[in-house]
Structure 1
Amino acid sequence: MAVLEGLESAAGDEVTLFVARRVDPGHEDAFETWARGILGAAADHPGNLGTGLLRPAEPGAPWHLLLHFRDADSFGAWQGSPARAACFARVDGHHVEVARRELHGMEGWFATTATGARRTPPARWKMAVASTVAIAPLTITANLLVTPHLAGLPVVLRSLLLAPVISSLMTYLGLPAVTRLLRRWLFPA
């Protein structure tokens, strides 16, 4: 799969890179060592927001690497970095890239849902609507149930306590539920 083309992104959009690599049988341990090395180097790179490694679902299926960067400039700097080049200089020839998908902004968030992972990201305005549908009930519920217990705290501290709760609920509950509910609209056939 080629890099998605035609995606217009603002300079400040986050960039998420999914890479699938097929590993020759018997070389899985060596590949995992290499993958952890390149992901560790990426994690130390300025602007990196996280990395991940997914083992294959079945023998012979590809391994998946995930790299998430603050913006296109950070991602571009990583792509041209000596640290990345050094990691690729250590490739042993027993694994090869079979797919690559670069996502910008909220596209990366939608791609992490089961439905979104198999499809082209929806239009940005659809992502904004779906995110609002997911965030609104979480925010209302937090304001009704949690905020009254935090009323004595300064606004900034209250916000810092609520943000990870709402973000976690959005990531693991809200967005997957809304993506399933609106899948035909978000990802038309």
Structure 2
Amino acid sequence: MNDKTAASAPTVHDNLEKLIIIRHTVRPEFRERYEAWLKQIIAAAAEFPGHEGVYILRPQQENNTFEIAVRFSSNAAAEAWLSSNIRKELLSSIVFALAADEQLEIKSGIDFWFTPPASKSKQPTRWKQWLITTAVIWPLTIIIPVLYQPLFNILPAISVWGVRHGIIAATIVALVVYLIMPRVVRLVAGWLFR
């Protein structure tokens, strides 16, 4: 395999959920116009294949930086949105309202459940993060083994010690990372970031 092939070969990370984290520092006099524009670009992103939702952290007090996390099902879907003409056109229509250049990050999986460490926005306290994570995982550790029990009874080869635990752990982690935690964080964001 040559270097060119290695660089273009897909990796396991290419198929993971991707989060595009966008930071816009908005000039205070254009905040209302920016908010209207934000609705437009969110609607446009929602039309793209693989779009899985948006989470917005609005500025706190004197801070004028908006943080927008746009979820996509894969790296290809995220890249398609980032390089799209509609995104470029919409961005050029609001550039006058930005006090600084747009900042972009692309993260995968669980990297952005909570506010990123580089953020100037208020971050949740560790005990709140611990409490939410425990509240999500604890019931799953009770329910998932019970749900798998009929399968383990039918297929004794996968019910051996260690294998059974690996299947249960992988299921719980997948549910938490891809399905439950992003929704729970959105649901409790008001309390979490207080």
Shorter-normalised TM-score: what interval? 0.5 to 0.7
Question: Please, which of 108, 118, 138 is the counterpart of residue 104 of structure 1?
Answer: 108
One-letter code aligned to 1:112: W
Report the equivalent of 2:117. Answer: 118
1:1-189 alignment to 2 at 5 Å?
Answer: 10-95=13-98, 96-97=100-101, 99-107=103-111, 111-113=112-114, 117-118=116-117, 137-142=138-143, 167-168=179-180, 172=184
Contact 1:9 1:105 in 2 (8 A): no
Ranges of 4+ aligned residues in structure 1 off by more than 4 Å: 133-136
Residues 99-151 of structure 1, C-alpha deviations (whole Å, 9 max, x = no match): 332102232xxx2225xx216xxxxxxxxxx9xx957632233359x97xxxx
Distance (whole Å) between structure 2 residues aligned to residue 67 and residue 94 of structure 1 = 21
Percent identical across equivalent pairs? 17
Unpaired runs of 5+ residues, structure 1, are 1-7, 120-129, 148-162, 174-189
Does the C-alpha gap of structure 1 residues 99 and 9 become closer, same or farther in structure 2, counting only changes over 3 Å? Answer: farther
Distance (whole Å) between structure 2 residues aligned to residue 50 and residue 19 of structure 1 = 14
Contact 1:25 1:60 in 2 (8 A): no
Contact 2:113 2:182 in 1 (8 A): no
One-letter code aligned to 1:56: P
Contact 2:42 2:54 in 1 (8 A): yes
Unpaired runs of 5+ residues, structure 2, are 1-10, 119-129, 148-174, 186-194
Distance (whole Å) between structure 2 residues aligned to residue 45 and residue 170 of structure 1 = 19
SS in structure 2 opposite 1:11? helix
Pairwise CA RMSD? 3.8
State the structure with more CA Rg: 2
Q: TM-score, normalised by structure 2?
A: 0.56
Contact 1:21 1:62 in 2 (8 A): yes
One-letter code aligned to 1:141: I
Does the C-alpha gap of structure 1 residues 26 and 139 become closer, same or farther in structure 2, counting only changes over 3 Å? Answer: same
Distance (whole Å) between structure 2 residues aligned to residue 101 and residue 26 of structure 1 = 26
Q: How many residues are treated as equivalent by the alignment?
A: 136
Contact 1:39 1:52 in 2 (8 A): no
One-letter code aligned to 2:143: A
**Stretch deviating more after TM superposition (133-142 or 39-48):** 133-142
